Amino acid sequence: MSVIQTADWIAHKFWLKVDRRGENECWPWIGYKHPAGHGLTTHQSLSILASRKAWILTHGPITIRDACVNHRCDNAACCNPNHLYLGTRADNMVDRWANTAPGERSGFGRPHALSYSDMEELWEMRRHGATLAQCAEKFGIHMSTVARYITVERKKRIARLRTDRLSVVAKVSI
């Protein structure tokens, strides 16, 4: 065998360290584990979490910037691709602390607290002087969640306005 290892050989060596069980069961990493319980391995000469490598070997490279490989099963050592999904660090923390049931997690992590139509209603309530507490009570969510939705949407709207304004300025100055 040549010095350069083939992709098949790398995958074979990886899956030897995974206790592959039934399709819906957890597949625990049986190699080295971080004290927090996550499996550790290498990928392209860098240390990475075993679950991340399982995702890469199954689905290909992760092209989304800052994406995390999260577990639907809440088992840090699990490498079953059926239990893994791409999400954000925020999704991971919310799943960890909010006790979102594993079956309720979508492909993008936890379910969103407000739909788009709820967001429009929230904006209308705030425009007409409703307090954060009143909005939170109406939608059955915490005031900080209302504030977060408003802040995130405000940043998006300001960014769009700035982009629009800059494009107008650029056209005028040319």
Instruction: Give the dihedral of Cα atoms 16, 17, 22, 28; nearest 10 deg.
Output: 180
Render the chain in DSSP notation, one character per residue: --SSPPHHHHHHHHHHTB----TTS--BB-S-B-TTS-BEEEETTEEEEHHHHHHHHHH----STT-EEEESS--TTB--GGGEEEE-HHHHHHHHHH---GGG-BTTBSPPSS-HHHHHHHHHHHHTT--HHHHHHHHTS-HHHHHHHHHHHHHHHHHHHHHHHHHHHHHHH-
Give the residue extent of every domain in the chain: 7-104, 116-173
141-152: pLDDT as tens digits: 888 888 877 776
Categorise residue 102: left if φ over 0, alpha if ψ from -120 to 50, beta otherwise.
alpha
**Whether 32 contacts 40, CB under 8 Å:** yes
Q: For strand 68-71 and strand 84-87, is the pairing parallel, antiparallel, or unpaired?
A: antiparallel
Residues 6+ apart with CB under 8 A from 98: 110
How far apart CA 47 and CA 111 sit, in angstroms, is: 31
121-132: pLDDT as tens digits: 888 898 899 998
The structure's pTM equals 0.55
Between 110 and 102, name the one with better pLDDT.
102
1-33: pLDDT as tens digits: 454 568 888 899 999 999 999 998 999 999 999
